[in-house]
Amino acid sequence: MVGSSTRTSNAVREHLLLPQRLGMYEIEIANNQECLTIDEDFVRAIVRQTLQTEQVSSATISVAIVDNAQIHELNRQYLNHDYETDVLSFLLEESSAETSNEKTVTPRGAGKTIDGEVIVSSEMAIEMAADYSWDAIDELTLYIVHGVLHLCGYDDLTAEELPIMRARECHVFEILGRPEPTRDASDRGHVDEGVHVDEGVHVEDEPPSVKDSVKGEEKAVAVPQGGQS
């Protein structure tokens, strides 16, 4: 499927590309699709702003932008889910000085060091944007924010947790100066969680890094959050 992108305004782009206020963040982008024109600096800015909003101390985040066929294969291969989805996230490593129950703390990323990967489908963003009456780039932004929030410790698997995550998404969008997401608090979308790779947890088929992503005949391999989407 071929779609068009909405260009980010210069004002918004300049705002997002201001020097980061908090933390040390390494953000890598692998653009393995042709459905949507991607501004990689804008994607980095989205990730950085989400991490800053969550007060993450430091992070190494890889983001892969793929099409539906690629994310379907990754979803099947690593999560045994045989369908297309919008975003996968994998938390590879996490450390924090906090000893309290993170479920009672907002922002949940506060003080954490995170190593994780997020995969989003631009093709799904184009399809779903029409349903929610906004731009494909905003739909894709929602996927990226959602995936990073999973890495920070949020989930959307229960009726209690989903509204909390939705509120954090809206908060990040407000800071970004983007239109507020139109998702109902009960709408989980197509998100799938990834595999939490942590000490003491053995994962036989650990997903490869976004750094190893390839185009062409071979599958694009990008990795998503620990145990959730």
Q: What is the pLDDT of residues 1-59, one digit of tens each?
A: 333 333 344 433 443 443 444 469 999 999 999 999 999 999 999 999 999 999 999 99
CATH number at residue 196: 3.40.390.30
Across the range 151-172, mean pLDDT stands at 93
In a domain, 199, yes or no: yes
Cβ partners under 8 Å of residue 35, min gap 6: 1, 2, 3, 67, 122, 123, 126
- What pLDDT does residue 168 have? 96
How many domains are contained in the chain? Answer: 1
Higher pLDDT, 36 or 229: 36
How sure is the predictor about 166, in pLDDT bands with cuts at 50, 70 and 90? very high
Q: Please check the confidence at residue 138 and state whether its pLDDT lies above 60.
A: yes
How sure is the predictor about 106, in pLDDT bands with cuts at 50, 70 and 90? confident
- What pLDDT does residue 179 have? 92
Q: Please check the confidence at residue 113 and state whether its pLDDT lies above 80.
A: yes
Q: Give the H or E element holding residue 118.
A: strand 112-121
In a domain, 62, yes or no: yes
- What pLDDT does residue 137 have? 97
Cβ partners under 8 Å of residue 12, min gap 6: 176, 177, 178
In a domain, 75, yes or no: yes
Report the candidate in 183, 136, 144, 141 with the shortest Cα–Cα distance to residue 1.
136
Cβ partners under 8 Å of residue 158, min gap 6: none
User: Residue type for 216, please?
Assistant: G
Q: Please check the confidence at residue 221 and state whether its pLDDT lies above 50.
A: no
- What pLDDT does residue 87 have? 96
Cβ partners under 8 Å of residue 7, min gap 6: none
In a domain, 2, yes or no: no
The residue range of the domain holding 116 is: 10-212
- What pLDDT does residue 19 have? 40
- What pLDDT does residue 41 have? 96
Higher pLDDT, 65 or 102: 65
The beta strand positions in 32-111, using DSSP E, are 58-66, 87-96
Average pLDDT value for the chain = 78
> What is the per-residue pLDDT across 174-219, written as a single tens digit (0 to 9) for each?
999 999 997 765 565 555 555 444 333 233 345 555 545 433 333 3
Q: Please check the confidence at residue 62 and state whether its pLDDT lies above 60.
A: yes
- What pLDDT does residue 183 have? 76
In a domain, 219, yes or no: no
Across the range 93-120, mean pLDDT stands at 82
Per-residue tokens: 71: 């994310």
In a domain, 227, yes or no: no
DSSP 209-228: PGGG---TTSPP-----TTB
In a domain, 226, yes or no: no
In a domain, 103, yes or no: yes
How sure is the predictor about 61, in pLDDT bands with cuts at 50, 70 and 90? very high
